[in-house]
Amino acid sequence: MDFTLNARDSMNDINWTEVMTTYDESQAEVIRIALAEEGIPCTIENAHQGGFTGVFQARVLVPENFVHTAAKLLEAHKEI
C-alpha cells in the first residue's frame, strides 16, 4: 500500500493519510466502521457521490499516526 497521499485538517492539525481507495462507496463505509470499532479515526473523501457512484474513487483516510495499525487491520481482513 502507498501511504504518501495526505490531506491536512487545518482546524484540528491532523494529517489524514490514505490507506485505501475504492469505487464502491458501501465498501468504504464498511471499512470506516471496522476501523472505528478498533478505535482508529477514519474519514472518507469523495463519499456521497450521488448519481456518480462508481465514477470517482472514495479515499479512506486515517490520521498518519494510525496508518500502520489501520494497514495491519485491513491486511488481516482483506475480505471486507
Rounded CA separation 70/50 (Å): 27
Amino acid of residue 42 = C
The pTM of this model reads 0.74
Q: What mean pLDDT do residues 18-46 have?
A: 93
The 10s digit of each residue's pLDDT in 37-62 is 999 999 999 865 555 555 688 999 99
What is the pLDDT at residue 4?
A: 44
Q: What 3-state DSSP class applies to 80?
A: coil
How is residue 34 annotated by DSSP?
H
pLDDT of 80 > 90? The answer is: no
CATH 3.40.630 fits 6-76, yes or no: no
Q: What are the structural domain ranges in the chain?
A: 6-76
